[in-house]
């Protein structure tokens, strides 16, 4: 029997096929890449710590065929728009969605590799702007395809991730880290990846989830932030690291922090306490997974939430409420996923608790805030690939 996700993916492929045949005639090659979750390790990347992402069963799929010209014609099924562009820097398309694809082509070319004109149709089921990185899925899908179609797969996978990241920086105005594109490119079924953001080394950890489910609850709120709280958090971390004479908080432990307690502000102390704790929590979760100890995994997730809420102060009322509801419903682990101030919580839930949790969370959240949260069950799946 097919899962709901597979059904959905088949329908998507069918739709892409039809559109491709109608618009361009014949058929091309299918590629896909995935959105991602991060189980634990938040605000650690710029502190030289660890993140622990995995690709999910929500994807962007594209059918692509070289067209023998120097122009690209791309149709987006979900937006129902076509974009046409050349491959020189001045050919940037007007549509935002097409700039992700154009940017990928440009970044491939800038690195001395080849891209030529193509026709493409693409669609996706990664929710947009929900924190699951639909943009990284789109970039990775096309980066993988350009590598496969024109470059005999000579571009290594890390470079494919960097191509996506540079696309965000240079063509979409988003100054992101590498995690999203890394996860989308390297993702592997039933595995999370611990990425060391200092050395860029990574390791796969099996994440089979027997008897558990992973589900995201999207609060659908995003609080407008006035005074660049992210920059302020970064500055706090940098000040403490400088005081300790180290490059990043990766190299600090709580003893170090306590030694300089009187020399730093109470606020900086709290920020650093969170970061130092979070580094260890990622390591703890990896150890626990190797033992199949989901209780500890969940405990650390709750600790991360508490740290983000009370020490790093990047939570908000709605996310704290979602976390409280998870606790009340006996959810094994729950925390904010992403930078904070809105967006999703990620929840590790025992199978038997799943349905009651989802109905309680929808009902109670609606009662309090007047709208339903969105529920996204996810399965850890493969990243960029040819289908
Ligand atoms: P996210 O957190 O999902 O990555 P972003 O704002 O970074 O949110 O990226 C979303 C953008 O990516 C969309 O506005 C659109 O331009 C592009 N995008 C993502 N998925 C699709 C899709 N299925 N079809 C067209 N464009 C898409
Ligand atoms: Mg994005």
Atom of ligand 1 at shortest distance to CA of 97? 16
Average pLDDT per 10 consecutive residues for the chain, totaling 387 residues:
63 96 98 98 94 97 97 98 98 97 98 98 94 96 98 98 96 91 97 96 94 97 83 95 97 97 97 97 96 96 98 97 98 95 96 98 98 97 97
180 is catalytic: yes
CA of residue 288 to ligand 2 center, whole Å: 30
CA quadruple 348, 354, 360, 363: dihedral, nearest 10? 100
Query: Can you list the domains of the chain with their CATH numbers?
Result: 4-208+382-386 (3.30.230.10), 212-378 (3.30.70.890)
**Angle in degrees, 0-180, between the axes of helices 317-328 and 294-306, rounded to the nearest 10:** 150
Alpha helices of 307-370 — where are they, by DSSP H?
Answer: 317-328, 351-369
Q: So what's the pLDDT on residue 4?
A: 59
CA of residue 133 to ligand 2 center, whole Å: 4
Q: Considering 119, 180, 218, 382, which one is annotated as catalytic?
A: 180
Instruction: Render pLDDT for 101-144 as a digit per residue (tens, 0 to 9).
Output: 999 999 999 999 999 999 999 999 999 988 999 999 999 999 99
Q: Give the whole-angstrom CA distance, residue 313 versus residue 225.
A: 13
Q: So what's the pLDDT on residue 387?
A: 96
Q: Which of 120, 135, 176, 342 to mutate to test the pocket of ligand 1 (most atoms within 8 A of CB)?
A: 135
Q: Which helix (H) or strand (E) holds 135?
A: helix 134-150
Instruction: Name which residue sits closest to atom 20 of ligand 1, judged by CA.
Output: 134
- 95 DSSP 8-state letter: S
Instruction: Render pLDDT for 264-323 as a digit per residue (tens, 0 to 9).
Output: 999 999 999 999 999 999 999 999 999 999 999 999 999 999 999 999 999 999 999 999
Give how far the C-alpha of residue 174 lies from the chain's centroid of Cα atoms, to the nearest Å: 14
Q: So what's the pLDDT on residue 228?
A: 79
Q: Give the whole-angstrom CA distance, residue 364 versus residue 347.
A: 17
Buried b (16+ CB within 10 A) or exposed e, 151-173: eeeebebebbbbbbbbbbeebbe
- Ligand 1 neighbours, Cβ below 6 Å, are 60, 76, 78-79, 96-97, 100, 123-124, 126, 128-129, 131-135, 138
- 290 DSSP 8-state letter: H
Q: So what's the pLDDT on residue 245?
A: 97
Q: Give the whole-angstrom CA distance, residue 104 versus residue 107.
A: 5
């Amino acid at each position: 029997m097919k899962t709901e996700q597979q059904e959905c993916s088949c329908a998507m492929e069918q739709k892409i096929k039809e559109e491709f045949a109608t618009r361009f005639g014949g058929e091309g090659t299918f590629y896909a890449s995935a959105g991602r979750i991060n189980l634990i390790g938040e605000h650690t990347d710029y502190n030289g710590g660890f993140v622990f992402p995995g690709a999910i069963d929500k994807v962007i799929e594209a059918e692509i065929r070289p067209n023998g010209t120097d122009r690209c014609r791309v149709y987006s099924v979900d937006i129902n728009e076509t974009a046409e562009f050349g491959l020189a820097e001045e050919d940037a398309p007007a549509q935002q969605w097409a700039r992700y694809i154009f940017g990928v082509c440009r970044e491939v070319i800038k690195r001395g590799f080849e891209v030529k004109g193509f026709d493409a149709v693409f669609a996706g089921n990664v929710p947009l702007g929900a924190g699951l990185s639909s943009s990284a899925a789109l970039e990775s899908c096309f980066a993988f395809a350009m590598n496969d179609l024109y470059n005999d797969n000579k571009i290594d996978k890390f470079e494919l991730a960097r191509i996506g990241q540079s696309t965000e920086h240079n063509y979409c105005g988003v100054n992101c880290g590498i995690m999203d594109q890394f996860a989308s490119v390297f993702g592997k079924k039933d595995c999370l990846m611990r990425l060391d953001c200092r050395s860029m080394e990574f390791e796969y950890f099996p994440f089979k989830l027997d008897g558990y489910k992973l589900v995201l609850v999207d609060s659908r709120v995003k609080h407008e932030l006035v005074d660049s709280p992210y920059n302020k958090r970064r500055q706090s971390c940098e000040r403490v690291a400088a005081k300790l004479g180290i490059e990043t908080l990766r190299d600090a432990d709580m003893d170090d922090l306590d030694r300089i307690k009187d020399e730093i502000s109470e606020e900086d102390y709290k920020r650093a306490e969170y970061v130092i704790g979070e580094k260890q929590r990622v390591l703890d979760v990896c150890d626990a997974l190797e033992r199949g100890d989901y209780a500890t995994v969940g405990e650390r997730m709750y600790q991360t939430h508490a740290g983000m809420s009370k020490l790093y102060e990047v939570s908000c009322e709605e996310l704290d409420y979602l976390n409280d509801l998870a606790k009340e419903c006996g959810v094994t682990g729950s925390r904010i996923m992403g930078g904070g101030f809105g967006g999703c919580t990620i929840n590790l839930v025992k199978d038997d608790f799943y349905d009651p949790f989802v109905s309680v969370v929808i009902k109670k959240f609606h009662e309090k805030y007047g709208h339903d949260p969105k529920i996204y069950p996810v399965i850890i799946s493969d990243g960029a690939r040819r289908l």
